[in-house]
């Protein structure tokens, strides 16, 4: 293999690796741990699934802000409060956590396993 092929492989591996790495400064929490926080008024609960997914099955007090709308709707959230994000499996909510981190949010929590783990 020549250098260009190795370089392309390294770029692809780096891209895939970056997609699945946890975000620095984002806490992972189990569904049970999140259930214990649901009544905390100092926490913002965000569901980043599509409106259709949200209508089918959601938990109160989670507010639906679809992932693709999140960058333009961050102003609806308080940067000083903790944000708990959930999706169906935990993948989109990790991407949402990255978006929130870039927007300057300090305390972000991702729900491990998402709605699929909700009992």
Q: So which residues are the catalytic ones? A: 87
**How would you classify the pairing of strands 43-47 and 108-111?**
unpaired
Residues whose CB falls within 8 Å of the CB of residue 12, separated by 6 or more in sequence, listed in order: none
Distance, in Å, from the CA atom of 45 to the CA atom of 111, rounded to the nearest integer, reads 10
Backbone angles phi and psi of 24, in degrees to 5: -60, 135
- CA distances to 27, 59, 83 from 56, rounded to whole Å, are 27, 10, 23
Cis amide prior to 88 (ω within 30 degrees): no
């Amino acid at each position: 293999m020549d250098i260009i092929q190795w370089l392309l492989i390294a770029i692809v591996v780096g891209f895939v690796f970056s997609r699945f790495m946890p975000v620095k400064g984002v806490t992972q929490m189990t569904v049970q741990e999140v259930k214990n926080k649901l009544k905390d008024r100092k926490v913002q609960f965000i569901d980043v699934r599509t409106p259709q997914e949200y209508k089918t099955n959601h938990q109160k007090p989670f507010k639906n802000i679809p992932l693709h709308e999140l960058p333009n709707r961050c102003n609806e959230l308080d940067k000083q409060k903790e944000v708990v994000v959930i999706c169906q499996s935990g993948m989109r909510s990790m991407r949402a956590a990255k978006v929130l981190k870039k927007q300057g949010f300090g305390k972000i929590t991702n729900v491990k396993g998402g709605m699929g783990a909700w009992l």
